[in-house]
Amino acid sequence: MAKKTPNGTKAGNRGEAGRHELAFDIEAAALPKSIDEKAFASGGYPYNRKYKRKLYEKELEPLQIELLKLLAWARDNGERIVIVFEGRDGAGKGGAIARFTQHLNPRYARIVALSKPSDTEKGQWYFQRYAAEMPTAGEIVFFDRSWYNRAGVERVMGFCTHAQSEEFLREAPAFEGMLARDGVRLVKLFLTIGREMQMSRLHARWHDPLKRWKLSPIDFEALPRFDDYSAAFERMLETSSTDWAPWTVVRANDKFRTRLNAIRHVLHAVPYKDKDEDAIGEVDRRIVLTAEAYLSNGGES
């Protein structure tokens, strides 16, 4: 049996198709070898080695310079840009956003990470509190999770009904269509990691006093509900990826590759002035996929 964490949540998970149980003691100093060895390649990740830090740091700097040019262009032209980060718990959304914003002026590049809705917000139109956070002219807003909570965690954890989640999925494209027609540039990134990699990252967070704050009971529930989240996310991708607001999926088992390619995708997606295509480089299509390509490949393996 999986040992319970101090908050009473089992740190365990079901294996593929529920045929076996992968369980571990999150308080143990090391992960079980069976999990650790599978983590990097889990979920169908196409690489078997981590990207080298020296290469990552060398490639990151010119990309961050391009981000400064993008922000300057947005300010000069009154552009409004929204970048949505969704994904599994532990997929690296916050770390990726941090590399996007590291050198950007916080007056014009803002991160939105909303907590659970208040009683007042629960009584409002579902999109209302997100609409209030949309950028003004010359601003970029990064959503660290977004209105798609209703398609993911709320659906899986029972914080909304199935009917409410399905209604949301019908309305989300219309909401985003209004934004697009009003001139908002919307980029949606979905970060996904394999089952064992999620275990590895949650375990690492537990043992890092500087990161343990990121963990919540909901994060532990992501482990036994991995397959439920897979089904919810696939439903989300197939119903809410549109011509005006398509989803881009990033296989995120390697944080360095994830950050570099997420930035590259955004830089290629926005037509800012004086873009240096050579400095940006090519997006790695082995880990960056359209929603359609990801779903046609079977999604999570």
Ranges of residues in the chain with a pLDDT under 70 are 1-23, 300-301
Are 140 and 69 in contact by the 8 Å Cβ rule? The answer is no
CATH class assigned to 51-193+217-296 = alpha beta
* Domain ranges (residues) in the chain: 51-193+217-296
Position 293 scores a pLDDT of: 97
Position 4 scores a pLDDT of: 41
Are 195 and 22 in contact by the 8 Å Cβ rule? The answer is yes
Position 297 scores a pLDDT of: 85
**pTM assigned to the model:** 0.91
